[in-house]
Amino acid sequence: MKQDMILILDLGSEENARLAREIRAMGVYTEIHPHDITASELAALPNVKGIILNGGVNRVVDGVEIDASDAVYDSGFPVIAYDHQGAPALPDSGDVRENLIRSFVFDTCKAEANWNMKNFIEDQVELIRRQVGDKKVLLALSGGVDSSVVAALLLKAIGNQLVSVHVNHGLLRKGEPEEVVRVFREELNANLVYVDAIDRFLDKLKDVADPEEKRKIIGAEFIRVFEEEARKLEGIEFLGQGTIYPDIIESGTKTVKAVKSHHNVGGLPEDLQFELVEPLKMLFKDEVRACGLELGLPASMVYRQPFPGPGLGVRCLGAITRDRLEAVRESDAILREEFAKNGLEGKVWQYFTAIPDVKSVGVRDNKRAFEWCVIIRAVNTIDAMTASIEPIPYELLGHITERITNEVPGVNRVLYDLTPKPTGTIEWE
Ligand code: XMP
């Protein structure tokens, strides 16, 4: 293994991830582990240089103050007790903290700043090869950031022992399935199974208007299609997963209850339970992107804006019809193209169109036109829990409106959603 590691033990802090990121920003790899790590678990971790006991508001569990196990104090590694709440609340306390940690990491532990993507990739390639041997790995490649990066990493490690399956459910954005095929099959030479399941999904969704019902149908059908493909393949023993560190951290720790369950694997039948390969599980999102770039993926894929799993299915509001689905896909493509052209791509966190199940009267070619309308949404957010409206130049909105009403068949009106979250959610369904 290439990189030194500083271990952060969770003694009830709510700032474990932030501390881990702070130290990684100094170029030193970190992992967060539970306070009661055992001697053998500790011994299994490579290149540990020191341990930070990260205390905080959740340190008292069931009335008892938790502490690290004797294994930690007896390990011989430098140990420091740290508590964000206990640090001096001076205006420059950020620097004080940072200096304290920096000096522990570099002076006390003598850690080297050797955490970088090249080393990470080299280490993971070796670990993946060791885990998988000459067996095959199956991966659901959606084209999202995490699945694309994990696919590229697995490809580098095991080449055609990786079988990627891309399910086109008809709810992807314009050009996405084609880009997945182009990048992975043509450029990276991947063994990619492309499944056209458009009719299947749209038939299942016919006349279903309730958003949660739509989500359930899309999720369940996805698993069914993936399972069918898996059964056609021989000799698969592993399942690749684009799990990343926040997924794991949000699954809860011994001191903090789960924010959300880590459900990525869910749904495959018993006889298809594969061993998981999750090489990104220790990376934060920005590190996943850096890893993707280092592996040669295009920036458009690595910096892709968030896109919900049910895709355009929750942006074609109410019961999905093919004409409105095409209208939302085309209008979204125009919006994205104009945002890119006008330098808004990196400035706005999420932007898209939605199409309500509403027609309005308009005029086209001097005739009455009873057509659909399209809603533009563009928001900024840090954590998707709240979101604000990004001011978009009025002229640009006018230009986009003109393009959508001229170029998208069946759309004669464009609306702009000015609602922050709350009270709106980011998506309309
Ligand atoms: P809301 O609409 O809840 O969205 O404000 C917050 C963020 O989550 C995304 N989103 C989803 N992502 N499956 C997903 O994978 C879903 O069903 C889903 N619904 C919303 C949304 O795009 C936004 O980034």
Ligand 1 nearest atom to the CA of residue 306, by list position: 24
Ligand 1 nearest atom to the CA of residue 428, by list position: 2
For residues 71 and 191, membership in a common domain is answered with: no
In short, whether 425's Cβ falls inside 6 Å of ligand 1 is: yes
Residues 285-297: b if buried by 16+ CB within 10 A, e if exposed: eebbbbbbebbeb
Residue nearest to atom 19 of ligand 1 (CA): 308
In short, whether 268's Cβ falls inside 6 Å of ligand 1 is: no
| Mean pLDDT to the nearest integer, 79-84 | 88
Ligand 1 nearest atom to the CA of residue 309, by list position: 15
Tell me, what CATH number does 63's domain have?
A: 3.40.50.880
Q: Please check whether residue 353 is in contact with residue 374, taking contact to mean a CB–CB distance below 8 angstroms.
A: yes
What is the whole-number distance in angstroms between the Cα of residue 128 and the centre of ligand 1? Answer: 31
Examine residue 315 and state whether it is found in any structural domain, yes or no: no
Examine residue 428 and state whether it is found in any structural domain, yes or no: no
Q: Please check whether residue 112 is in contact with residue 1, taking contact to mean a CB–CB distance below 8 angstroms.
A: no
Report residue 62 as tokens. Answer: 């069931």
Tell me, what CATH number does 357's domain have?
A: 3.30.300.10
In short, whether 350's Cβ falls inside 6 Å of ligand 1 is: yes
What is the whole-number distance in angstroms between the Cα of residue 263 and the centre of ligand 1? Answer: 15
For residues 173 and 70, membership in a common domain is answered with: no
For residues 260 and 133, membership in a common domain is answered with: yes
Examine residue 378 and state whether it is found in any structural domain, yes or no: yes
Examine residue 308 and state whether it is found in any structural domain, yes or no: no
Of 76, 108, 140, which one is at a domain's C-terminal end? 108
In short, whether 310's Cβ falls inside 6 Å of ligand 1 is: yes
The dihedral built from the CA positions of residue 71, 73, 75 and 81, taken in this order, carries a sign that is positive
Calculate Rg over the CA atoms of the chain: 25
| Mean pLDDT to the nearest integer, 205-210 | 98
| Dihedral angle over CA of 375, 380, 386, 388, nearest 10 | -70
For residues 268 and 295, membership in a common domain is answered with: yes
The beta-carbon contacts of 81-85 under 8 Å, at least 24 apart in sequence, are: 81/53, 81/55, 82/19, 82/52, 82/53, 82/54, 82/55, 83/13, 83/54, 83/55, 83/56, 84/13, 84/15, 84/19, 84/54, 84/56, 85/55, 85/56, 85/57
Residue 151 has pLDDT above 90, yes or no: yes
| Mean pLDDT to the nearest integer, 25-29 | 96
The helix/strand count (H/E) of the chain reads as: 14, 16
Helix (H, G, I), strand (E, B) or coil at 47: coil
Domain containing 201: what range? 117-302
Helix (H, G, I), strand (E, B) or coil at 185: helix
In short, whether 405's Cβ falls inside 6 Å of ligand 1 is: no
What is the whole-number distance in angstroms between the Cα of residue 427 and the centre of ligand 1? Answer: 6
Tell me, what CATH number does 183's domain have?
A: 3.40.50.620
Nearest-angstrom CA–CA distance, 220 and 267: 8
In short, whether 306's Cβ falls inside 6 Å of ligand 1 is: yes
Q: How many domains does the structure of the chain reveal?
A: 3
pLDDT digits (tens, 9 = 90+) for 101-127: 999 999 999 999 999 999 999 999 999
For residues 136 and 279, membership in a common domain is answered with: yes
For residues 205 and 285, membership in a common domain is answered with: yes
Which of 420, 343, 354 lies closest to 384, judged by CA? 420
Report residue 107 as tokens. Answer: 């002076």
What is the whole-number distance in angstroms between the Cα of residue 385 and the centre of ligand 1? Answer: 10
Q: What is the pTM of this model?
A: 0.91
Report residue 348 as tokens. Answer: 């706005």
For residues 164 and 223, membership in a common domain is answered with: yes
For residues 380 and 342, membership in a common domain is answered with: yes
Q: What local confidence, expressed as pLDDT, does residue 253 receive?
A: 65
For residues 53 and 102, membership in a common domain is answered with: yes
Examine residue 309 and state whether it is found in any structural domain, yes or no: no
What is the whole-number distance in angstroms between the Cα of residue 280 and the centre of ligand 1? Answer: 22
Examine residue 267 and state whether it is found in any structural domain, yes or no: yes
Residue 93 has pLDDT above 90, yes or no: no
Examine residue 334 and state whether it is found in any structural domain, yes or no: yes
Which of 143, 199, 136 lies closest to 166, judged by CA? 143
Confidence of residue 68 (pLDDT cuts 50, 70, 90): very high
For residues 84 and 17, membership in a common domain is answered with: yes
Examine residue 316 and state whether it is found in any structural domain, yes or no: no
Q: What is the largest CA-CA distance in the chain?
A: 85
Residue 247 has pLDDT above 90, yes or no: no
Cβ neighbours of residue 294 under 8 Å, at least 6 residues apart? Answer: 117, 118, 121
Q: What local confidence, expressed as pLDDT, does residue 248 receive?
A: 86
For residues 130 and 154, membership in a common domain is answered with: yes
Of 302, 329, 347, which one is at a domain's C-terminal end? 302
Q: What local confidence, expressed as pLDDT, does residue 58 receive?
A: 87
Nearest-angstrom CA–CA distance, 429 and 314: 6
For residues 143 and 274, membership in a common domain is answered with: yes
Q: Please check whether residue 59 is in contact with residue 255, taking contact to mean a CB–CB distance below 8 angstroms.
A: yes
Q: What local confidence, expressed as pLDDT, does residue 263 receive?
A: 46
Of 75, 108, 141, which one is at a domain's C-terminal end? 108
Confidence of residue 317 (pLDDT cuts 50, 70, 90): very high
